[in-house]
Structures are given as C-alpha cells and as structure tokens.
Amino acid sequence: METISKQVSQNRRRTWFVLVAFLVVVSVIGFLIGCIFASRQEVFDLNVALYTMAGFLVAAVIYAFFTYMGVTNILMRGSNAVKIQESDDQQLFNIVTDLSMAANIPVPDIYMINEDAPNAFATGRDPKHAAVAVTKGLRLMMNREELEGVIAHEISHIKNYDIRVSSITVALTTFIAGAGTVLIIAGAGLMRNASWMSFGSRDSDDNKSGLAFVMGMIAFGVIIWIGGWIIRIIGVPIAQVLQFAVSRERESLADVSGVNLTRDPQGLINALEVLKNDSTPMKKADASSAALYINEPIKKNGKTPFILKMFDTHPPLDERIDRLKRLMGEDNYKE
C-alpha cells in the first residue's frame, strides 16, 4: 500500500498530464477551426490556422480564469445550494471547524443542498476561498461518525488543492462544449441568411457572381456547422474523459486523506455503505458537476446518467470500502 505522500505526488503528476492534455485538445480544436478559415483563402495560409489556434487558447484561458474565480457561486447556484450559518446547524459547523483545524486550513463556507439523495462536494479556488456543500438527505441519514467521515473526505479535497484542479477542468470542459455550440449556431445562421439572400437573386442574370457568393456562404456555413458537431460529438467526450480521470484518482486519495484526519476508517466505511445502499435520484446534478460529488449522483428515475456510467467518475464504492478496510489493519494511513 502506498503512503499518502507518494499518492499525492503521483496524483499531482497525473493532474499536470491531464491539464496539458486539455490544452492540447483545445489547441487541436482551435487549429482545425483555423483550417476552416484558411481554406477560404485562394491559397491555404497556415498562419491563419495558427493565429486562430492561438486565439482559441487565449479565449480558453480567459474563460477558465473567470469561471475559476467565480466557481463557488456558479456551482452553488446550479445545485440550488444555500449558504447556512452556525445557528442553522451547530453540529455540522462543529465538525467542519474541527476537521479544518486538523487539516490546518481556514474553515470553508458551508452550504445546504435541497436534495433528498445523500451526497456532498467541495469547491473553490484554494483553501482560503473554499466551500463545502452537503445535501439534506445526507444530513438526515448519517450519524455524527459517518458525517465526520464524509466531511473529512471533502476537507481533504480542499487541503490537497483538488478543488483548484476540478475548477479548471470543469471550466475547460464547458468551454469546449460552448465552442461547439457556438459553431453550430453560427453555421446554421450562415446557411439560413445565405438562403434568404439567394431568393432575391436567382432570377437575375446580372447576379451570377452574387449567387456564387451566396453558395460559398452556404458551403462555409455547412463546414462550420459540421465542425461544431464534430467538437460536440468527439471533443466534448474527450474533455469529459480527461475530467473524469482527474476525479477518479483524487476520490481515492481523498478517502485515504480523510481517514488521516479522523483516525477513524470505520466512520467513512459506514458512510460509503450508506451511499452504496441508497438509490435516491438527484434533481440538480449534471455531467459537468457530477465529478465533484463524493459519490456519482443518480438521476433519471434512479439510473446513473449514461455519460457517468460509461466513464466512471469515481472508483466503485465496493473498491473504496475494501481499501479502507485494509487500512484499518495498517499504519500507513498516517503521514
């Protein structure tokens, strides 16, 4: 069994690899879009493709930065989470405060999600600007020991800066998805406008050059439209696979790190057993935020969304439970 420090180092290397892979995906998409524009020239100009790729990268970085700065508000609004005060839940605040002190990080903001399904996640850009959210279902179903196990898991995500990586990968994934959507809309708009232009010029012999221009616009619109769908069909799944790869590795690390905070593997084991035996669907969980939760959200009449089931954002709960049981007989869950 690897020690925590070795696992942290390994996951940092993997995270950098995934982030570089994200930038490569963004660059390739930008270059292909640039090739579309370059192909409109009389002679293919590679510089057009390269400049477009550079612009695409800059846009992705700017978008990721602003999303990263406001990630807590974005995710909490999307989850229908409400910030609570100490007077709202004294026990929950005590647990979060104690574990934050044990982890030597500032106490994060605490949010309550109006969901019956038991679940929780942490987010933010760093430990000084972090938040923990738990569902009402989790709060009602779990006793103090189990709740401590879950909160320790989430505090570990904050301490290990998993929240920073998650915020960046979510931002880049949504950027790629948005780029595909913009191209689809732009391509459809070009085709529609060109079609309207063709009606006014089809009967005039003097407008043959105009008709050629219109047909060129339609062709260009088709190319952009197809390019958008290629990004949506191929680029987005690739980005989600990279995002889920980060999540899967860091969930395992957070389990072990959480036990290191509580010195009580049984609490988290019992909590994961509760999650394993529950099939309550979540109303406000989609593929872009699912990787943040302690357990894959279930929706659509109790079924896991196809994209999550296909790529597995989290290790199987049985695997996580067995790993923690092995830790109970070993000392290397301590640093």
Residue 173, CA distances (Å) to 21, 125, 275 in order: 12, 17, 27
279 — phi, psi (to 5°)? -130, 25
How many beta carbons lie within 10 A of that of residue 279, not counting itself? 11
Q: Is 153 annotated as a binding residue?
A: yes
- Quote the distance between the C-alpha of residue 316 and its chain's center: 19
For the purposes of burial, counting CB atoms within 10 Å of the CB of 71, is it exposed (0-12), middle (13-18) or buried (19 or more)?
A: buried
Pairing of strands 130-135, 109-113: parallel
303, amino acid identity: K
Q: Is 129 annotated as a binding residue?
A: no
179, amino acid identity: A
Contact 292, 225 (CB under 8 A): no
Residue 115 is a catalytic residue: no
Contact 149, 321 (CB under 8 A): no
Residue 256, CA distances (Å) to 210, 292, 311 in order: 68, 17, 23
How many beta carbons lie within 10 A of that of residue 147, not counting itself? 21
Indicate if the alpha-carbon torsion angle 217, 223, 229, 231 is positive or negative: negative
SS3 121: strand
Contact 168, 116 (CB under 8 A): no
Catalytic choice (115, 146, 154, 296): 154
Question: Rounded distance, CA 310 to CA 328, Å?
Answer: 32
E-state strands within 107-204: 109-113, 120-124, 130-135
Question: Rounded distance, CA 285 to CA 120, Å?
Answer: 11
Enzyme catalytic residues? 154
Binding residues: 153, 157, 251
Known binding-site residue numbers for Zn(2+): 153, 157, 251
